Amino acid sequence: MSDPCLTFNNLTLGYDRHAAVHHLEGVVDKGSLTAIYGANGSGKSTLLKGIVGLIKPMAGDCKRSPGTRIAYLPQLSEIDRAFPARVVDIVSLGLWPRLGLLGRQTAEDRKAVADALVAVGLAGFEKRPLDTLSGGQMQRALFARVLVQNADLILLDEPFNAIDARTVRDLLVIISRWHAEGRTVMAVLHDLELVRLHFPETLLLARAPVAWGQTKDVLTPANLEYSRHFDEAWHDDAPWCEGDDAHHGSIHGHEHGHGHGHDHHDGHAHRDSKHGSASAKAPQTEDA
């Protein structure tokens, strides 16, 4: 039996009635390490924002396991580096879920911030203004903030984008540590080789889920080629999709890999109940 951290029930997300993620079904197990992979515009960042609650579902829902503490690291491009703050200030924001805006930091809190800075290689950077940091240094500071949050579920949106190779290696060590500690980690990534080497599970998105399961079974040439064509079919327009009558092409499944039987309809990837992998059959195409 699985121990779910997240459960997606026909989850559809989007903006202004234009769906960006269609009919996602499945379970993210506690302690899993999952890459979310797909082309630009395939719904990866939208999915993370839906999990966090920054956007509301158009249909279905995403349920978290009760008591799950969540940490969300957005893309670097969404961070205002001109804001007059120091490294210690941005890292200390990780204390807010526990202390609130006006809570007073204890000696233990200050030690947690200092330890996090050491862990990401930024000891001595406490008073550095954010606008003096390189991209890699800024990402290290944001990882330190996540460390301070001590979350059960960690969501990372393009954590390795536009940073140096050494920082990528150092941050991968931190992600591996989170995984070893039993935390649940989901990361939006665009580097196929990095996914294959470091992430045991992958959700392949092309606005609809194409495949989800063990990375070696998901990132096959056939699935990657299919996801590219399926994604291109949505690029010009992504209309609101009314349940299973939407014109998506069909991805049919059998049984859910965590013991929940479903009859999957259009846009549903499935987990193979024997192998824990997900696969997608070639669609019966209709007009998009």
- DSSP calls for 37-60: E-STTSSHHHHHHHHHTSS--SEE
The end-to-end CA distance of the chain, in Å, is 38
Is the confidence at residue 99, as pLDDT, over 90? no
What is the rounded distance in angstroms from the CA atom of residue 288 to the CA atom of residue 280? Answer: 18
Least confident span in 152-161, 168-177, 240-249:
240-249
For the chain, the C-alpha Rg in angstroms (whole number) is 20
For 282, the token pair is: 């070639």
Q: Helix, strand or coil for residue 200?
A: coil
Report pLDDT for 256. 32
Give yes or no for residue 279 having a pLDDT over 90: no
- Report the relative pairing of strands 201-206 and 33-37 from DSSP bridges: parallel
Q: How confident is the model at residue 267 (pLDDT cuts 50, 70, 90)?
A: very low
- 254 neighbors 279 (Cβ within 8 angstroms): no
Backbone angles phi, psi at 138, to 5 degrees: -65, -40
pLDDT at site 1: 60
Question: Residue holding tokens 């194409």?
Answer: 210
Do you know the residue count of the chain? 288
pLDDT greater than 50 at residue 117? yes
Pairing of strands 184-189, 4-15: unpaired
Structure tokens at 145: 């903030």
Q: Which is higher by pLDDT, 99 or 190?
A: 190
pLDDT at 231: 63
